[in-house]
Structure 1
Amino acid sequence: MSPEERLAERRERLIAAAYVLYSDPGFPETTIERLCARARISNRAFYECFSGREELMQALHARCIQETLESMYKAIDQVPDTLADRVEAGVTEYIRFVTEDRRRARILHMEVRRAGDCLITSRQLGVAGFVDAIKANVADLPEATKANQHLLALGMIGAVQELLIEWVLSDDPPPVESLISTAIHIFRRSFVT
Protein backbone atom coordinates (compact mmCIF):
# COMPACT_ATOMS: atom_id res chain seq x y z
CA MET A 1 0.00 0.00 0.00
CA SER A 2 1.12 3.53 -0.71
CA PRO A 3 1.39 5.96 2.23
CA GLU A 4 -1.82 7.66 1.04
CA GLU A 5 -3.67 4.34 0.91
CA ARG A 6 -2.42 3.42 4.40
CA LEU A 7 -3.59 6.77 5.75
CA ALA A 8 -7.01 6.38 4.09
CA GLU A 9 -7.33 2.84 5.45
CA ARG A 10 -6.50 4.03 9.00
CA ARG A 11 -9.01 6.86 8.70
CA GLU A 12 -11.69 4.35 7.71
CA ARG A 13 -10.82 2.10 10.64
CA LEU A 14 -11.03 5.05 13.01
CA ILE A 15 -14.38 6.15 11.56
CA ALA A 16 -15.67 2.59 11.97
CA ALA A 17 -14.40 2.52 15.57
CA ALA A 18 -16.02 5.88 16.28
CA TYR A 19 -19.31 4.66 14.81
CA VAL A 20 -19.38 1.94 17.44
CA LEU A 21 -17.89 3.78 20.43
CA TYR A 22 -19.43 7.22 19.94
CA SER A 23 -22.83 5.57 20.00
CA ASP A 24 -22.03 3.37 23.01
CA PRO A 25 -20.68 4.36 25.50
CA GLY A 26 -20.96 7.80 23.82
CA PHE A 27 -18.78 10.67 22.68
CA PRO A 28 -17.82 12.08 26.12
CA GLU A 29 -16.84 8.64 27.45
CA THR A 30 -14.77 7.60 24.44
CA THR A 31 -11.06 8.29 24.75
CA ILE A 32 -8.51 8.36 21.96
CA GLU A 33 -6.94 5.28 23.54
CA ARG A 34 -10.23 3.35 23.24
CA LEU A 35 -10.65 4.45 19.64
CA CYS A 36 -7.09 3.37 18.81
CA ALA A 37 -7.53 0.01 20.52
CA ARG A 38 -10.74 -0.68 18.62
CA ALA A 39 -9.20 0.46 15.29
CA ARG A 40 -5.98 -1.43 16.07
CA ILE A 41 -3.71 1.53 15.43
CA SER A 42 -1.26 3.51 17.55
CA ASN A 43 -1.99 6.86 19.15
CA ARG A 44 0.61 8.38 16.84
CA ALA A 45 -1.25 6.99 13.82
CA PHE A 46 -4.46 8.52 15.18
CA TYR A 47 -2.93 11.99 15.07
CA GLU A 48 -1.75 11.42 11.52
CA CYS A 49 -5.43 11.01 10.59
CA PHE A 50 -7.28 13.42 12.89
CA SER A 51 -6.36 16.31 15.15
CA GLY A 52 -8.56 14.95 17.94
CA ARG A 53 -11.81 13.22 18.88
CA GLU A 54 -13.82 16.23 17.74
CA GLU A 55 -12.46 16.16 14.18
CA LEU A 56 -13.19 12.44 14.04
CA MET A 57 -16.75 13.11 15.22
CA GLN A 58 -17.12 15.77 12.52
CA ALA A 59 -16.02 13.29 9.85
CA LEU A 60 -18.38 10.61 11.19
CA HIS A 61 -21.30 13.02 11.49
CA ALA A 62 -20.74 14.37 7.97
CA ARG A 63 -20.71 10.83 6.59
CA CYS A 64 -23.95 9.95 8.41
CA ILE A 65 -25.60 13.11 7.04
CA GLN A 66 -24.39 12.42 3.50
CA GLU A 67 -25.58 8.80 3.51
CA THR A 68 -28.95 9.79 4.96
CA LEU A 69 -29.51 12.58 2.43
CA GLU A 70 -28.53 10.30 -0.46
CA SER A 71 -30.97 7.66 0.70
CA MET A 72 -33.73 10.24 1.15
CA TYR A 73 -33.20 11.85 -2.28
CA LYS A 74 -33.20 8.45 -3.95
CA ALA A 75 -36.57 7.62 -2.35
CA ILE A 76 -38.06 10.99 -3.34
CA ASP A 77 -36.86 10.60 -6.94
CA GLN A 78 -38.84 7.37 -7.28
CA VAL A 79 -42.30 8.78 -6.44
CA PRO A 80 -44.83 10.90 -8.36
CA ASP A 81 -44.20 14.64 -8.32
CA THR A 82 -46.83 15.61 -5.75
CA LEU A 83 -46.36 17.17 -2.33
CA ALA A 84 -48.06 14.26 -0.56
CA ASP A 85 -45.88 11.68 -2.31
CA ARG A 86 -42.66 13.64 -1.79
CA VAL A 87 -43.40 14.20 1.90
CA GLU A 88 -44.30 10.58 2.50
CA ALA A 89 -41.28 9.23 0.62
CA GLY A 90 -38.79 11.65 2.18
CA VAL A 91 -40.01 11.34 5.75
CA THR A 92 -40.43 7.58 5.54
CA GLU A 93 -36.97 7.04 4.11
CA TYR A 94 -35.30 9.44 6.54
CA ILE A 95 -36.76 7.74 9.60
CA ARG A 96 -36.37 4.24 8.15
CA PHE A 97 -32.73 4.83 7.21
CA VAL A 98 -31.79 6.48 10.51
CA THR A 99 -33.53 3.84 12.65
CA GLU A 100 -32.16 0.96 10.58
CA ASP A 101 -29.11 1.17 12.82
CA ARG A 102 -29.61 2.58 16.33
CA ARG A 103 -25.98 3.79 16.29
CA ARG A 104 -26.73 6.12 13.36
CA ALA A 105 -29.79 7.54 15.13
CA ARG A 106 -27.82 8.09 18.31
CA ILE A 107 -24.88 9.78 16.55
CA LEU A 108 -27.08 12.05 14.42
CA HIS A 109 -29.52 13.08 17.13
CA MET A 110 -27.75 12.75 20.47
CA GLU A 111 -24.00 12.40 20.41
CA VAL A 112 -23.45 15.34 18.06
CA ARG A 113 -25.11 17.49 20.75
CA ARG A 114 -23.20 15.85 23.58
CA ALA A 115 -19.94 16.63 21.76
CA GLY A 116 -20.57 20.27 22.60
CA ASP A 117 -19.63 23.54 20.99
CA CYS A 118 -16.93 22.02 18.79
CA LEU A 119 -19.67 20.32 16.72
CA ILE A 120 -22.05 23.28 16.37
CA THR A 121 -20.85 24.08 12.85
CA SER A 122 -21.08 20.44 11.78
CA ARG A 123 -24.58 20.17 13.22
CA GLN A 124 -25.66 23.43 11.54
CA LEU A 125 -24.35 22.19 8.18
CA GLY A 126 -26.34 18.99 8.60
CA VAL A 127 -29.51 20.88 9.46
CA ALA A 128 -28.94 23.19 6.47
CA GLY A 129 -28.67 20.15 4.20
CA PHE A 130 -32.02 18.84 5.40
CA VAL A 131 -33.65 22.30 5.21
CA ASP A 132 -32.47 22.57 1.60
CA ALA A 133 -33.83 19.09 0.85
CA ILE A 134 -37.24 19.97 2.28
CA LYS A 135 -37.44 23.32 0.51
CA ALA A 136 -36.28 21.84 -2.82
CA ASN A 137 -39.05 19.27 -2.71
CA VAL A 138 -41.84 21.55 -1.52
CA ALA A 139 -41.30 25.09 -2.80
CA ASP A 140 -42.28 24.56 -6.44
CA LEU A 141 -45.51 22.67 -5.80
CA PRO A 142 -48.76 24.63 -6.11
CA GLU A 143 -50.37 22.96 -3.08
CA ALA A 144 -47.54 24.01 -0.76
CA THR A 145 -48.19 26.70 1.81
CA LYS A 146 -46.90 30.19 1.13
CA ALA A 147 -45.70 30.56 4.74
CA ASN A 148 -41.98 30.94 5.40
CA GLN A 149 -40.79 27.54 4.21
CA HIS A 150 -37.32 27.94 5.69
CA LEU A 151 -38.76 28.34 9.18
CA LEU A 152 -41.28 25.56 8.61
CA ALA A 153 -38.48 23.23 7.50
CA LEU A 154 -36.47 24.07 10.63
CA GLY A 155 -39.52 23.34 12.77
CA MET A 156 -40.10 20.03 11.03
CA ILE A 157 -36.48 19.01 11.52
CA GLY A 158 -36.79 19.82 15.21
CA ALA A 159 -39.96 17.76 15.50
CA VAL A 160 -38.42 14.74 13.78
CA GLN A 161 -35.27 15.05 15.90
CA GLU A 162 -37.33 14.95 19.08
CA LEU A 163 -39.26 11.91 17.84
CA LEU A 164 -35.97 10.13 17.14
CA ILE A 165 -34.45 11.13 20.49
CA GLU A 166 -37.52 9.64 22.16
CA TRP A 167 -36.99 6.46 20.13
CA VAL A 168 -33.29 6.27 21.06
CA LEU A 169 -33.72 6.95 24.79
CA SER A 170 -36.95 5.13 25.56
CA ASP A 171 -36.89 1.84 27.44
CA ASP A 172 -39.96 0.95 25.40
CA PRO A 173 -39.41 2.80 22.10
CA PRO A 174 -42.41 3.60 19.94
CA PRO A 175 -42.66 1.50 16.78
CA VAL A 176 -40.82 3.00 13.82
CA GLU A 177 -44.10 2.98 11.86
CA SER A 178 -45.61 5.24 14.55
CA LEU A 179 -42.68 7.64 14.23
CA ILE A 180 -43.16 7.71 10.46
CA SER A 181 -46.93 8.25 10.56
CA THR A 182 -46.58 10.98 13.20
CA ALA A 183 -43.87 12.80 11.26
CA ILE A 184 -45.84 12.57 8.01
CA HIS A 185 -48.90 13.96 9.79
CA ILE A 186 -46.88 16.91 11.14
CA PHE A 187 -45.31 17.61 7.73
CA ARG A 188 -48.63 17.49 5.88
CA ARG A 189 -50.36 19.77 8.38
CA SER A 190 -47.50 22.24 8.14
CA PHE A 191 -46.83 22.37 4.41
CA VAL A 192 -50.14 21.79 2.67
CA THR A 193 -52.43 24.78 2.20
Structure 2
Amino acid sequence: MTAAYTLYAKPGFAATTIERLCSEARISNRAFYECFGGREELLQALHERCVEESLAVVTKAVQEAPNTLEGRIKAGIRAYIDFTTADWRRARIMHVEVRRSGDVLTLSRQRAIDSFARLVQEASADFPQAAPLNRRLVALATVGALQELLIEWLLSDDQPDIDELVDTAVHIFTRSLGTPDTRG
Protein backbone atom coordinates (compact mmCIF):
# COMPACT_ATOMS: atom_id res chain seq x y z
CA MET A 1 0.00 0.00 0.00
CA THR A 2 2.84 2.39 0.85
CA ALA A 3 4.56 1.81 -2.48
CA ALA A 4 1.29 2.34 -4.35
CA TYR A 5 0.58 5.47 -2.37
CA THR A 6 3.73 7.04 -3.78
CA LEU A 7 3.77 5.47 -7.26
CA TYR A 8 0.09 6.04 -7.98
CA ALA A 9 0.58 9.69 -7.08
CA LYS A 10 3.70 9.99 -9.25
CA PRO A 11 4.33 8.78 -11.94
CA GLY A 12 0.61 7.95 -11.72
CA PHE A 13 -1.75 5.02 -11.94
CA ALA A 14 -1.43 4.51 -15.70
CA ALA A 15 2.38 4.43 -15.55
CA THR A 16 2.60 2.07 -12.59
CA THR A 17 2.85 -1.62 -13.42
CA ILE A 18 2.43 -4.55 -11.06
CA GLU A 19 6.11 -5.30 -11.52
CA ARG A 20 7.10 -1.79 -10.50
CA LEU A 21 4.78 -1.88 -7.48
CA CYS A 22 6.20 -5.20 -6.35
CA SER A 23 9.78 -4.09 -6.89
CA GLU A 24 9.21 -0.90 -4.89
CA ALA A 25 7.43 -2.81 -2.11
CA ARG A 26 10.03 -5.59 -2.19
CA ILE A 27 7.43 -8.30 -2.53
CA SER A 28 6.80 -10.98 -5.14
CA ASN A 29 4.06 -10.72 -7.73
CA ARG A 30 2.49 -13.74 -6.07
CA ALA A 31 2.40 -11.95 -2.71
CA PHE A 32 0.73 -8.98 -4.39
CA TYR A 33 -1.99 -11.14 -5.92
CA GLU A 34 -2.62 -12.82 -2.58
CA CYS A 35 -3.73 -9.38 -1.31
CA PHE A 36 -5.25 -7.71 -4.38
CA GLY A 37 -6.91 -8.85 -7.57
CA GLY A 38 -4.99 -6.24 -9.55
CA ARG A 39 -3.60 -2.74 -9.46
CA GLU A 40 -7.12 -1.34 -9.93
CA GLU A 41 -8.28 -2.99 -6.71
CA LEU A 42 -5.26 -1.54 -4.91
CA LEU A 43 -6.05 1.96 -6.24
CA GLN A 44 -9.63 1.58 -5.07
CA ALA A 45 -8.45 0.54 -1.59
CA LEU A 46 -6.10 3.54 -1.41
CA HIS A 47 -8.77 5.96 -2.64
CA GLU A 48 -11.36 4.66 -0.19
CA ARG A 49 -8.91 4.92 2.70
CA CYS A 50 -8.10 8.54 1.78
CA VAL A 51 -11.82 9.35 1.55
CA GLU A 52 -12.64 7.70 4.89
CA GLU A 53 -9.83 9.55 6.66
CA SER A 54 -10.88 12.86 5.08
CA LEU A 55 -14.53 12.38 6.00
CA ALA A 56 -13.56 11.65 9.61
CA VAL A 57 -11.43 14.80 9.84
CA VAL A 58 -14.09 17.02 8.27
CA THR A 59 -16.93 15.54 10.32
CA LYS A 60 -15.03 16.18 13.54
CA ALA A 61 -14.20 19.75 12.50
CA VAL A 62 -17.83 20.51 11.63
CA GLN A 63 -19.06 19.02 14.92
CA GLU A 64 -16.60 21.16 16.90
CA ALA A 65 -17.29 24.34 14.89
CA PRO A 66 -19.40 27.26 16.09
CA ASN A 67 -23.07 26.47 15.51
CA THR A 68 -23.45 28.88 12.62
CA LEU A 69 -23.53 28.11 8.92
CA GLU A 70 -20.40 30.19 8.35
CA GLY A 71 -18.65 28.54 11.30
CA ARG A 72 -19.41 25.08 9.99
CA ILE A 73 -18.42 25.98 6.44
CA LYS A 74 -15.10 27.52 7.48
CA ALA A 75 -14.22 24.66 9.82
CA GLY A 76 -15.13 21.94 7.34
CA ILE A 77 -13.35 23.49 4.39
CA ARG A 78 -10.23 24.36 6.39
CA ALA A 79 -10.07 20.81 7.77
CA TYR A 80 -10.55 19.23 4.34
CA ILE A 81 -8.04 21.40 2.51
CA ASP A 82 -5.43 21.19 5.27
CA PHE A 83 -5.78 17.41 5.56
CA THR A 84 -5.81 16.80 1.83
CA THR A 85 -2.87 19.09 1.02
CA ALA A 86 -0.76 17.96 3.99
CA ASP A 87 0.36 15.07 1.78
CA TRP A 88 0.45 15.82 -1.95
CA ARG A 89 0.13 12.08 -2.67
CA ARG A 90 -3.26 11.98 -0.93
CA ALA A 91 -4.44 15.04 -2.82
CA ARG A 92 -3.22 13.61 -6.10
CA ILE A 93 -4.87 10.21 -5.62
CA MET A 94 -8.16 11.75 -4.48
CA HIS A 95 -8.43 14.46 -7.13
CA VAL A 96 -6.30 13.60 -10.15
CA GLU A 97 -5.58 9.89 -10.39
CA VAL A 98 -9.16 8.99 -9.47
CA ARG A 99 -10.20 10.71 -12.72
CA ARG A 100 -7.30 9.47 -14.83
CA SER A 101 -7.98 5.85 -13.93
CA GLY A 102 -10.98 5.84 -16.25
CA ASP A 103 -13.84 3.56 -15.33
CA VAL A 104 -11.78 1.82 -12.65
CA LEU A 105 -12.86 4.18 -9.88
CA THR A 106 -16.09 5.63 -11.23
CA LEU A 107 -18.26 3.96 -8.59
CA SER A 108 -15.79 4.66 -5.77
CA ARG A 109 -15.52 8.30 -6.84
CA GLN A 110 -19.29 8.68 -6.97
CA ARG A 111 -19.64 7.17 -3.48
CA ALA A 112 -17.04 9.64 -2.19
CA ILE A 113 -18.79 12.61 -3.79
CA ASP A 114 -22.11 11.43 -2.39
CA SER A 115 -20.61 11.09 1.11
CA PHE A 116 -19.18 14.60 1.03
CA ALA A 117 -22.41 16.02 -0.43
CA ARG A 118 -24.41 14.37 2.39
CA LEU A 119 -22.01 15.90 4.91
CA VAL A 120 -22.56 19.34 3.36
CA GLN A 121 -26.33 18.82 3.40
CA GLU A 122 -26.33 17.72 7.03
CA ALA A 123 -24.04 20.57 8.13
CA SER A 124 -26.28 23.15 6.45
CA ALA A 125 -29.69 21.58 7.18
CA ASP A 126 -30.38 23.71 10.27
CA PHE A 127 -30.04 26.94 8.31
CA PRO A 128 -32.36 28.53 5.74
CA GLN A 129 -31.24 28.60 2.12
CA ALA A 130 -30.76 31.69 0.00
CA ALA A 131 -32.99 30.35 -2.76
CA PRO A 132 -35.53 27.53 -3.06
CA LEU A 133 -33.06 25.15 -4.70
CA ASN A 134 -32.57 21.43 -4.34
CA ARG A 135 -30.17 21.26 -1.36
CA ARG A 136 -28.58 18.04 -2.66
CA LEU A 137 -27.76 19.58 -6.04
CA VAL A 138 -26.28 22.65 -4.35
CA ALA A 139 -24.17 20.37 -2.11
CA LEU A 140 -22.95 18.41 -5.15
CA ALA A 141 -22.05 21.64 -6.95
CA THR A 142 -20.07 22.99 -4.02
CA VAL A 143 -18.21 19.70 -3.57
CA GLY A 144 -17.33 19.78 -7.27
CA ALA A 145 -16.06 23.34 -6.98
CA LEU A 146 -13.81 22.37 -4.08
CA GLN A 147 -12.42 19.45 -6.07
CA GLU A 148 -11.58 21.74 -8.98
CA LEU A 149 -9.79 24.16 -6.66
CA LEU A 150 -7.63 21.32 -5.37
CA ILE A 151 -6.88 20.13 -8.91
CA GLU A 152 -5.73 23.67 -9.70
CA TRP A 153 -3.47 23.58 -6.62
CA LEU A 154 -2.00 20.25 -7.73
CA LEU A 155 -1.47 20.95 -11.43
CA SER A 156 -0.91 24.68 -11.72
CA ASP A 157 2.52 26.07 -12.50
CA ASP A 158 1.57 29.04 -10.32
CA GLN A 159 0.22 27.10 -7.36
CA PRO A 160 -2.34 29.09 -5.33
CA ASP A 161 -1.72 29.56 -1.63
CA ILE A 162 -3.64 27.24 0.72
CA ASP A 163 -5.30 30.21 2.47
CA GLU A 164 -6.42 31.49 -0.93
CA LEU A 165 -7.99 28.09 -1.66
CA VAL A 166 -9.78 28.14 1.69
CA ASP A 167 -11.05 31.70 1.23
CA THR A 168 -12.31 30.94 -2.27
CA ALA A 169 -14.04 27.73 -1.21
CA VAL A 170 -15.63 29.43 1.82
CA HIS A 171 -16.91 32.19 -0.48
CA ILE A 172 -18.44 29.65 -2.88
CA PHE A 173 -20.01 27.54 -0.14
CA THR A 174 -21.34 30.53 1.81
CA ARG A 175 -22.87 32.11 -1.29
CA SER A 176 -24.35 28.81 -2.40
CA LEU A 177 -25.66 27.54 0.92
CA GLY A 178 -26.33 30.68 2.95
CA THR A 179 -29.26 32.96 3.45
CA PRO A 180 -29.33 36.41 1.88
CA ASP A 181 -28.06 37.76 5.24
CA THR A 182 -24.84 35.68 4.97
CA ARG A 183 -24.15 36.82 1.43
CA GLY A 184 -22.70 40.11 2.72
TM-score, normalised on structure 1? 0.90
Structure 2: 5+ residue stretches without partners: 180-184
2:83 maps to what in 1?
97
Specify which of 8, 32, 35 is matched with residue 49 of structure 1. 35
CA 1:92–1:147: 2 relative to 1, 3 Å: same
Q: Secondary structure of the equivalent of 2:34?
A: helix
Shift of 1:143: 5.8
Shift of 1:144: 6.3
| 1:69 maps onto 2:50 in alignment | no
Alpha-carbon distance in structure 1 between the residues aligned to 2:59 and 2:38 = 32
Shift of 1:137: 0.5
CA contact (8 A) 1:83 1:143 kept: no
User: What is the aligned residue count?
Assistant: 179
1:18 maps to what in 2?
4
| 1:155 maps onto 2:141 in alignment | yes
CA contact (8 A) 1:167 1:173 kept: yes
CA contact (8 A) 2:117 2:140 kept: yes
Structure 1: 5+ residue stretches without partners: 1-14
Shift of 1:140: 2.2
**Superposition map of 1:36-185 within 5 A:** 36-142=22-128, 146-185=132-171
Per-residue CA shift, 1:88-140, capped at 9, x if unaligned? 10011111111111111110000011111121001011101101110111112
CA 1:123–1:115: 2 relative to 1, 3 Å: same
Runs of 4+ in structure 1 displaced over 2 angstroms?
140-146
Alpha-carbon distance in structure 2 between the residues aligned to 1:82 and 1:162 = 26
Query: What one-letter code is carried by the residue in structure 1 that aligns with 2:41?
Result: E
Q: Secondary structure of the equivalent of 1:147?
A: coil
Alpha-carbon distance in structure 2 between the residues aligned to 1:68 and 1:191 = 21
Query: What one-letter code is carried by the residue in structure 2 that aligns with 1:123?
Result: R
Alpha-carbon distance in structure 1 between the residues aligned to 2:47 and 2:130 = 31
Q: Secondary structure of the equivalent of 1:81?
A: coil
CA contact (8 A) 1:32 1:43 kept: yes
Identity of aligned residues (%): 56
CA contact (8 A) 2:128 2:178 kept: no
**RMSD over aligned Cα atoms:** 1.1
Shift of 1:141: 2.2
Q: Secondary structure of the equivalent of 1:55?
A: helix
CA contact (8 A) 1:144 1:192 kept: yes
1:12 maps to what in 2?
none
Shift of 1:176: 0.5
Query: What one-letter code is carried by the residue in structure 1 that aligns with 2:53?
Result: E
TM-score, normalised on structure 2? 0.94
CA 1:94–1:144: 2 relative to 1, 3 Å: farther
